[in-house]
Structure 1
Amino acid sequence: MFTKLLKTFILMILFCTTAQAQVQDTIVVARDGSGKYRNIQEAVESVRAFMDYTVTIYIKKGVYKEKVVIPSWIKNVEFVGEDAENTVITYDDHANINKMGTFRTYTVKVEASNITFKNLTIENNAERLGQAVALHTEGDQLKFINCRFLGNQDTIYTGAEGTRLLFLNCYIEGTTDFIFGPSTALFDHCTIYSKSDSYVTAASTPQSVKFGYVFKNCKLTAAPNVTKVYLGRPWRPYAATVFMNCELGKHILPLGWHNWSKTDNEKTARYAEYMNTGEGASTKERAAWSKQLTKKEAAEYSVENMFKTTSNWDPYK
């Protein structure tokens, strides 16, 4: 009897040890070969599908020139860079390479949900020869914390209806429509840097979705020669974009918003501001079809309200 119990106990230990060996809590990526992988995509492909535990892919300083795709069967993964400025994922595709088109130009494409990025730079450093996406998202409940997004036209594409994203303490730069798409996204304490006279946002919020792009406590800055920038123009008629408690630089035009040369958009686009400051925040000459929120209306833009859909999500927890 004792011998049988002992064998069972040993088998249980072996089973637990094997199970633990299959769980990769942290995967290290390093260009210098000091990690398990030299490329980020290799680390992604090593992650088990539909995990119910969190895996950290820790990326050491270096320049990673690769197109990275996080597929839909991956979840609960945190991509953590060693240093935001010196951990760089970069590529240089643009829309006019072999008729590639905008949506294949990404450097990083996130098809998965429940993914977090921290302390990283995601860059598309193509020449200014067409649209060139740095980050393309399709998943839900995505968080970007202390990240940098570098590019020109179309830097960030939030590409799926009904998805929810948080950008916290991020730096985002670009030229034209460099934050665009249909997702609900909160930009909190971010720096938005315009590199040319153009448009910051081009939301395509569906009519049925109340919240599109919401910028809170952000700072809008520009290159020294940039003097004529619109806050946004509607890529689709019901575009929704709000700037709240933001500092708007003098490069923001007094009109504030553009109708994309379609007067019908003025009847449907949902553009608003609340308590902004800075040289570009004056509301005296704002587009008559945009709105200044009341205190009560502004209170509706809470995290709880914005991210409540079929499931509640608080990205700050």
Structure 2
Amino acid sequence: MDHRTGMILVLSIVVMSVWGLDASAMQKTKFDAPLLTEKIATNRSIIVDIEGKGDYTSVQKAIDAVPVGNSNWIIVHVRKGIYKERVHIPENKPFIFMRGNGKGKTVIESSQSSVDNVASATFKVEANHFVAFGISIRNDAPIGMAFTSENQSVAAFVAADKVAFYHCAFYSLHNTLFDNKGRHYYHECYIQGSIDFIFGRATSIFNNCEIFVISDKRVKPYGSITAHHREHAEENTGYVFIRGKVYGIDEVYLGRAKGPYSRVIFAKTYLSKTVVPNGWTNWSYDGSTQNLYHAEYKCHGPGAERQHRSDWAKELTKQEVESFLSIDFIDGTSWLPVWLQQKS
């Protein structure tokens, strides 16, 4: 039995007895760095300290030190500080747990715009089995002209399978989180932006996350939180937001259509008045809205009123929402160190 199989078996037993509890029972349990470190169970570590009191002063230098083809979990502990650099986790370096000192303390930031979203990213994850805790990722490139190459300023590009972020924060003015492909889990994260600031083709659960809408007066119609791209019904992808809240200082759509089968669900989420009455938009998409899956379930707050919702927007039943609330939507029981099991 190799170490990964053994770890999955052990975690399965632990999770079934402890971490598979429902949300109400889990409110007393914090998914903090010691818990994640315990569940990942490794004694291999690299310390990054901006003041020179660790192994490296650069996050990227620490990643470069991880062996190519790495097959055992390794902790890259990034101590508090503002690291002004761009970081790439390449495909051939899986099983990295990047542990920060808290999203208000450990910051990775750059200032880059590009005609290419990927080229602009401050932080790129292309390796499977990546976990991050307690890190803020920023792209503070200045605002250019709306909907031009000057405005592609991605904070994080996530293009790998089995990736999880716990208590992290993502900041940009436009195209903040390029959630491109793979199965992902975001737990109690903060995501800030104005236009299409969570976008891509991934299969992701956003559990109890804060979505903050910043002002962008250059555009009408309003910006949108999500732009999920799904071309075919057979694609088992989508964004699911469970609990958490949407608020901010400008108005916004919950999502816009990106492909004929775009799929986004907000469930039990607080929606402030920053969400416009229509809720959803097909702006820039010329096709039929028949197969769009833009849906809500038991959302609350002034932005959750349904009288003026777009024609295709769905209000799901308990039965319809169950598969999206389940951690099985991302097959999470087989790879997440810890998770929150939701009930409808």
Q: TM-score, normalised by structure 1?
A: 0.86
Q: Percent identity?
A: 31
Q: Give the CA deviation at 1:76.
A: 1.1
SS at match of 2:324: coil
Name the amino acid aligned to 2:238: G
Change (3 A) 1:194 1:50: same
What pairs up with 1:299-310 in 2 under 5 angstroms? 299-308=322-331
Among 48, 52, 64, the residue aligned to 2:71: 52
2:209 alignment counterpart: 190
Deviation string 1:120-175 (CA, Å, 9 cap, x unpaired) is 00000000121200000111000000001011110000122xx1000001000001
SS at match of 1:266: coil
What pairs up with 1:40-119 in 2 under 5 angstroms? 40-95=59-114, 100-119=115-134
Measured in 2, the distance between the counterparts of 1:56 and 1:220 equals 32
2:296 alignment counterpart: 273
SS at match of 1:253: coil
2:230 alignment counterpart: 205
Among 279, 292, 297, the residue aligned to 2:315: 292
What pairs up with 1:150-189 in 2 under 5 angstroms? 150-160=171-181, 163-189=182-208
Deviation string 1:98-128 (CA, Å, 9 cap, x unpaired) is xx42221000000101000100000000001
2:135 alignment counterpart: 120
Aligned length: 285
Indicate if the aligned counterparts of 1:183 and 1:213 stay in contact, CA closer than 8 A. yes
Structure 2: unaligned runs, 5 residues or longer: 1-41, 145-150, 216-221, 340-344
Query: Is 1:220–2:246 an aligned residue pair?
Result: yes
Measured in 1, the distance between the counterparts of 2:255 and 2:304 equals 14
What pairs up with 1:252-267 in 2 under 5 angstroms? 252-267=275-290
Measured in 2, the distance between the counterparts of 1:219 and 1:67 equals 29
Among 263, 288, 293, the residue aligned to 1:240: 263
Name the amino acid aligned to 1:74: K
Q: Give the CA deviation at 1:251.
A: 1.1
Structure with more helix by fraction: 2
Q: TM-score, normalised by structure 2?
A: 0.79
Displaced runs of 4+ in structure 1, greater than 3 A? 302-305, 311-315
Report which stretch shifted further, 165-174 or 253-262.
253-262
Indicate if the aligned counterparts of 1:307 and 1:313 stay in contact, CA closer than 8 A. no
Deviation string 1:172-225 (CA, Å, 9 cap, x unpaired) is 0001000000000100000000102411111113422234000000200112xx
SS at match of 2:98: strand
Q: Give the CA deviation at 1:314.
A: 4.5
Measured in 1, the distance between the counterparts of 2:288 and 2:152 equals 23
Report which stretch shifted further, 297-306 or 83-92.
297-306
Measured in 1, the distance between the counterparts of 2:283 and 2:68 equals 42
Report which stretch shifted further, 231-240 or 205-214.
205-214
Measured in 2, the distance between the counterparts of 1:117 and 1:314 equals 12
Name the amino acid aligned to 2:211: I
Name the amino acid aligned to 1:203: H
Structure 1: unaligned runs, 5 residues or longer: 1-22
Q: Give the CA deviation at 1:25.
A: 0.7
- Taking CA–CA contacts closer than 8 Å with sequence separation of 6 or more, which of the two structures ends up with the larger relative contact order? 2
Measured in 1, the distance between the counterparts of 2:176 and 2:205 equals 16
Deviation string 1:233-279 (CA, Å, 9 cap, x unpaired) is 02222110000000000111111000124352412221110000000
